[in-house]
Structure 1
Amino acid sequence: MNRNPFSSKTYTSTWLKHFYSNGRAISFPFLKGTSFFKYPFFPLNINIGRNLTKGVMYTLQSVKLPVQIPNRLILIYDVPSYLEIKLDEIDQNLTIDRIRQYPGFSINLEPFTDLDNYLIQTFKRSSRYKLNKYKKKLESCFNIKYKMFYGEIKKEEYNIIFDQFETLLKKRFRQKGIMNNNLDPGEWNFYKDVTYPMILENDATLFVTYNENQIIGVTLNYINNNTLIDAITVFDVDYSKFNLGSVNIMKLIEWCLKNKFDKLDFSKGYFDYKKRWSNLEYNFEYHLIYNKNAVLPRTMAFVIKNYFRVKQYLRDKKLNDRIHKFKFLLNNRSTKQNMILGFSFEELIELSTDYELKEILLSSEKNHSLKKALFEYLYLNNESINDLKTFKVINSEGTYVFQSGSKATKVQLER
């Protein structure tokens, strides 16, 4: 397994099937590490995968100006800036334009022996205390288990996980009020189609967090030699109090170190948590390769280069976030109706006979709005869900009672 997963036969053939069914993979003898498709209307070749890969690595062979590209332009998306390309042995007429795009973040795990060693060398004592508290709270309040699917997974189980993966992503981005490109039907169908065989080929994994048998977190990872690439991560927002994101990263670091992986890569895009956990930063670049003496490729490169620079400028100014929010509002104008905005707790001295109560199961979809209040209660009171009963107060809208032993607490949901 000494290759980039995005250049594998499975990845390239599946991508072509979904996004360019009439095309074929094109390789250039002088360029190793990725393959291309021909853009329909211009003398332009683009790497297969385009912007869906999480990092493309390639090398240029020592050659004279390749006969394949005297009047062609090659575009390669998402090349890590730490990739060293030797140009001293390449024909002087061949040039590479690098266009900075997204920031990238990763953890070099080579200096660390285990998770505790990493935490001690990375975070202050107070931060380590909080991180360990999140994990202990999560595992004491719920029946948590973790599983990494790597090398094998049953197709039926895979389908269940991926369907819940999509459900959790939709739920998360409804809460954030923005569009997410991963949920575009064409893109999501590609991910679902390509990930299963890549898991079997050891080029991808799914890391899943369960509460009992309920899936509450999923991370899709790719594997590039000894690097685990965190591609898409989502958690059930009802568990946000327990900081599942931090717990997930700790489990991924733990898994990497136990399985001799020397890097955990958070891939492209800036988020505060990536900067906080990482000890390596870099940029993703788009590379344009062409004969600088040929007028048409040089002109095309100029136009494409400035197009991507404008896009990056808008991204730096956060204008793309506003566009995603606007698109979400257009497509989801009624989703915020009847949302529960908050809740309040009132401790009861005893479970009064004035209340007419009906015990309920929180697994029921109609009781979904109560989960956030319940999980807040469990977190604040260090209670286990196994010891708790939940009651609906009859004839009182949005009123419930949590009971643990002799302790009872009234809950009022507020709109």
Structure 2
Amino acid sequence: MEFDKKYRFFFDLFMRGTVSPFYANRVGNVLTDEVVFSSEETPLAFENVKISTVWDVPEYLEVSLKERPEQVRVSKIRQYKGYLIDLSKFKKVEDYLTDQLSSRNRKKLRSKKRKLESECSIRYVFYHGQIEKDEYQRLFSELYDMLDNRFEEKKTANHNLPNWQYYRDLVYPMILKKRASLFVIYDQEKPITIALQFHLKQTVFSYIQSYHIDYSQYNMGDICMLKRLEWCFEQDFRVLDLSMGVTDYKIKWCNHHYDLYFHVFYKANSISTLFKAKIQCEKLRFKQYLRDRNILGKLVRYDKIKYRIRQLRG
């Protein structure tokens, strides 16, 4: 195994259908009490391990570490806070809205939806299991433009846009296999909101969502969430995960938060490797210390810094 190999737990599980070789071949969801992933064991030569990190292991997914030699150790370091919607205790969307939103917010949501539908020719479409290739390509191009315009409006960098062709190639076959879906709000034939989601048993992972900035007055994010929740109940999905990062939008809609962890695996019988692993762990703990005190992510934001650097470079 190469030095400092990195795995992305969330990405690998939901998008690739794999887990890193440090874990047993079973992943359970403690919220839905179901096994969301199982496969044949991936062999791992522990004698070759130096330092490896697994990013973004959410605490609501149950993973088991493989038996390993005593000299191979693991440090689990809390990093980000994630937010999700747990629908398992509710029978229909109105029950959830009543429990989660204030009467004022519910009234505002219905008013904005009525206004949108009265002033525009609106239709709601979920692509899950089938989609025409030409329409898929068009929607991905539209979503790119929506994100580009929206993040330009916010003066922040978006980390997905530089890898857009990768996602374009990845998602189409996943939609056909019902491992992913696109939710689209159309005004006639014009897409005005698009949400990309990945699926694993009864869990939906919301990955990318954006809207046409010309429709900002309708609160498109809230209308999109309402329609996605309706669809989750219809399809018997019980968890809608909005992933990491604290935002007012997530606090408003989500009824469950969780922590994500970095798992750092290292060989403790090598002095140089042990030293480097300890430094890496302390860097991660220090970053989380800054997040907990609203310095990193609030006062200092990497996405805004990256945006400014790109502007200076032209």
TM-score with structure 1 setting the length: 0.62
Aligned equivalent of 2:243: 267
Whole-angstrom distance in 2 between the partners of 1:89 and 1:330: 45
Q: 1:200 aligns with which of 156, 176, 180?
A: 176
Are 1:171 and 2:164 an aligned pair? no
Are 1:6 and 2:45 an aligned pair? no
Measured at CA, do residues 241 and 71 of structure 1 come closer, stay the same or move farther in structure 2, by a change above 3 Å? closer
Aligned equivalent of 2:25: 32
The gaps in structure 2 that reach 5 residues or longer are 1-9, 28-35
Measured at CA, do residues 30 and 195 of structure 1 come closer, stay the same or move farther in structure 2, by a change above 3 Å? closer
Query: How many aligned positions are there?
Result: 291
Measured at CA, do residues 320 and 197 of structure 1 come closer, stay the same or move farther in structure 2, by a change above 3 Å? farther
Following superposition, the deviation at residue 200 of structure 1 comes to 1.4
The within-5 A match list for 1:48-197 is 68-69=46-47, 71-85=49-63, 93-184=71-162, 187-197=163-173
Aligned equivalent of 1:325: 304
Whole-angstrom distance in 1 between the partners of 2:200 and 2:11: 6
Following superposition, the deviation at residue 77 of structure 1 comes to 1.0
Whole-angstrom distance in 1 between the partners of 2:66 and 2:21: 19
Following superposition, the deviation at residue 57 of structure 1 comes to 7.9
Residues 56-94 of structure 1 show CA distances to partners (whole Å, capped at 9, x for unaligned) of: 9899x9xxxx75246423311110023445579766554
Alignment check: 8 A CA contact 1:100 1:285 kept: yes
Measured at CA, do residues 295 and 202 of structure 1 come closer, stay the same or move farther in structure 2, by a change above 3 Å? farther
Are 1:304 and 2:269 an aligned pair? no
The within-5 A match list for 1:257-406 is 257-315=233-291, 316-317=294-295, 318=297, 322-332=301-311
Whole-angstrom distance in 2 between the partners of 1:229 and 1:29: 23
Aligned equivalent of 2:4: none
Following superposition, the deviation at residue 120 of structure 1 comes to 1.4
Whole-angstrom distance in 2 between the partners of 1:319 and 1:108: 27
TM-score with structure 2 setting the length: 0.81
Q: Please say which structure displays the higher CA radius of gyration.
A: 1
Following superposition, the deviation at residue 326 of structure 1 comes to 4.0
Bigger drift between 200-209 and 156-165 goes to 200-209
Q: Secondary structure at the match of 2:46?
A: coil
Q: Secondary structure at the match of 1:181?
A: coil
Measured at CA, do residues 178 and 84 of structure 1 come closer, stay the same or move farther in structure 2, by a change above 3 Å? same
Whole-angstrom distance in 2 between the partners of 1:94 and 1:87: 12
CA RMSD in angstroms, aligned pairs only: 3.2
Aligned equivalent of 2:217: 241
Name which structure has the greater RCO, CA cutoff 8 Å, separation 6+: 2
Residues 248-283 of structure 1 show CA distances to partners (whole Å, capped at 9, x for unaligned) of: 111111000000101111011111111111111101
The gaps in structure 1 that reach 5 residues or longer are 13-24, 35-55, 336-415
